[in-house]
Every structure is written in C-alpha cells, then in structure tokens.
Amino acid sequence: MENQRLPSPPSAPSSRARRVRSGTSVGQPDRLPPDSLAFSLLLAARVLAAVRGGQSLAQALAPLAGEAAPARAAAQDAAYATLRRYGCGEFLLRRLLARSLPHAEAEALLLAALYRLQSRPETAYVVVDQAVAAAGDIAAGAFKGLVNGVLRNYLRQREALERAMLDDDEARNQHPAWWLKRLRRGYPDSWQQIVALGNRPPPMTLRVNQRRIGVADYAARLQAAGLVARPVGAASLLLARAVAVDALPGFADGLVSIQDAGAQRAAELLAPRAGQRVLDACAAPGGKTCHLLERAEVELLALDIEEGRVRKIRDNLRRLRLSATVVLADCRRTADWWDGRAFDAILADVPCSSSGVVRRHPDIKYLRRESDIRRFVHLQREIIDALWPLLKAGGRMLYATCSVFDDENAAQIDAFLFRQPAARRLLEERLLPEEEHDGFYYALLEKAA
C-alpha cells in the first residue's frame, strides 16, 4: 500500500484544522473565467479548506474531476505546494489577522495567495488582484476587502515577517512540532535532510513491465517522446521532470507504471519464485501486487478492506494484463477469506503513519497526530500476528512500511521476534527519503522449517 491503508478511526483534525472547519464547501465556482488565476486559487482554497477540516487530499481533490485539465492542474499544484509549507501561511495569518476567520474557504484562499506571493513575488500585483476576484465567489463577496487588505499588508511587511518566521520551529521546518521532535530524537545527524526533502515535490519514477518490454527499450521510447530519464534500479527509470500520465508512451497499454523506487524494493526483497503461492495482505492500490506478478509466475491473492481500493487493484491488473485473485476482506479476520492452504510468501505492507512519503502526500502533516502512532503500532501488530500462522514452514514474510518512525519499524519487528521464537530476521532495510526515493522500512522474516 502506497499511502492510506486499512481504514481505522480517522485522525482528529489538528488545532489549525479544527478552527477552520466551518464554512467549507467543495463546490465549483461558476462566475470566474476557468482559465484565470482567480479560478485556480478558488479551487485550491476549497481543497485546502477541506483538508484542514479533516478530509484526505484525495477526497478533497475528487470534486475537481469535472474541471478542464489546465484549471485542475493549476489548482492541484497550488494546493499541494501550500500544504507542503505547513505552518508558514498560518504563521503569517496569525500576525496579519486580529482573529481567525469564521469562513474556512476565505482563510484557505489567503493561504494559497500567500504561498503564491512568497514563491512568485514578481507577480504580486496580479496575485492580489486575482485573489480578491476569487474572494468574490466566497460568502457573496463578504471577504473581498479583507483579502485585499491582508495581502497588501503582507507585501508591506514582507521582509520583517519572513525574518520573524525563522524563529518559529514549525514554520521554518514546515512540519508539526511533535513530528520534528521525533525526527530529532531518531535521527540526530540527518533529521534536517529528512525535513528538507519532505518539503520538496517528489521524484517521478517509472517501473517498466519487463513482461512486456525491456528497460533499455522503454528508455528509448521515452527519449523518442522527448522525455529524459535515467535508471535507478533493476526495473526503474527516474524522469528528469514530472509529466502527465498521458505523456508516457504505452502507459495505457501496460508497458509501464508509476511507482517510487523505494516502493519497488518490496517485490525485489520478497523475490517469490515461479509456482509459489503468495499473499499481498494490504494490497491497494496494487503497485506491489503487480510488481510481484511482473517478476514471477505466481499464484497471488491480493486483499484490501475498502471496496474503492479493491477496484484500483483490479484496474491496475487489467491495464498491465496480469492475473490475481482479488478479495475484499480484512486481512486480520483470516476465517473470512483463507482457504486453509499455507502461503510460500506473504507481503505485509501494513498501515502506517506514511511519514516517509509526506512530500507525496502533504496532507499528512495536517491530518496526523502523535497519538495516531500508537494506534498504527497496535494495528500493525494485529496484522502480522494474524498472518504469521498462514505462512509455510520455511516461508518468508516481508514486513513493510512507508514510515520513518522507529515505533512502526525496527521496534515493531523486535517485539514480534520476541513473541514468535520460530521467526528469524533474514534482513532489514531502512530507506530514508533521498532525491531518488521516498522513505521505507523492510524486514524480511523466515519461519523455521
């Protein structure tokens, strides 16, 4: 699973999210020109307000599906960039507003506009003008004067405000305080690099379907299409710049998939052999499922607990022309889905904080609380304890997370090995976020014969 995993009680919104929950309405603006900056700012504001009110970014972006591609892309880029700058816009608003606004979209519009002013100061006049125009579609224009005043106030005080921001830990590092505390404790020598990478856009990495085409041949197709890429793994190509899926040669025909190089390590480490029976216990959206099938002819069972995510697994299998049994089920409730035949290999890509992929999912900064870590640790323990009896003697289970927090990683496996004397750790691989990949943890376990 690349991001959200088995559903569990949703995280309560942060204090910042709670104070802007009222007034959120992710509808579509109907008066602004669809190719205007005002239109994209308003769409972005509605996405931001929804996320700050507790929705995931995927949920908040869904209403934009009917918009024209350019407007949708512009709004999405603004929303992602603003969310990555956790704490920055909020810091500025605390100094520019006497009190928080009673309308979520109006405050979110200010956040999106402030990001734009910070990142493109040469367009200040246009940004202010278009933000005020966007405010005209919020609460019957009641906040137009306020938006204009706040943004012009920021421009007058910009240098002083930017200097003051350096003294605010959350705004300077663009992560929640509890998150920074954990990183400093766990990685005293590298936490700053982890934070810096978490604030940047992620790399776009491709996984070549080697059942259909070789890596060198696909690289040649990219080059012919004017796309620059370099190999970063056995089946991986890292694009020099991100592009739309439609620009990838043969994507619709299943020649290639988008998957982080770190995530591709799962299939490489589990390394099932032809003819083996394999379980992918938390499989959605299906990237690792498909990679396992691309590497070997195996009998694979893929599970997920959410119907919509199960559909994504099936869609990926269909596009890549691969075959697996896909079941809607909670992997912990083995009596509901297991037929009694043991597995040669199990992939337990468990629910986690997703702290290693935050640059790809910046809404996590707003939605996670520190108390969620304990809840994830409990759920992870339940999953691996339920799956272990289903593994053959001599079989292997790969435990995987996209977290950088030790509670979910090495500490979890140490506790499991204490509970299961028949388990042996074959290898452990911790990938911290780097330019070429996100953050992941893997532990390959073997059951005594």
d(CA 200, CA 177): 19
Helix or strand (DSSP H, E) at 224: helix 215-224
Helix or strand (DSSP H, E) at 325: strand 325-328
Q: 238 and 232 in contact (C-beta within 8 Å)?
A: yes
d(CA 177, CA 17): 15
Q: 416 and 364 in contact (C-beta within 8 Å)?
A: no
d(CA 40, CA 28): 11
Any catalytic annotation for residue 88?
Answer: no
Check 282, 331, 352, 402 and give the catalytic one: 402
DSSP string, 402-433: S---GGGTHHHHHHHHHH-TTEEEEEEEEE--
175-199: buried (b, 16+ CB within 10 Å) or exposed (e) per residue? bbeebbebbeeebeeebeebbebbb
Token digits for 273?
Answer: 């052999």
d(CA 230, CA 69): 28
Q: Which residues are catalytic?
A: 402
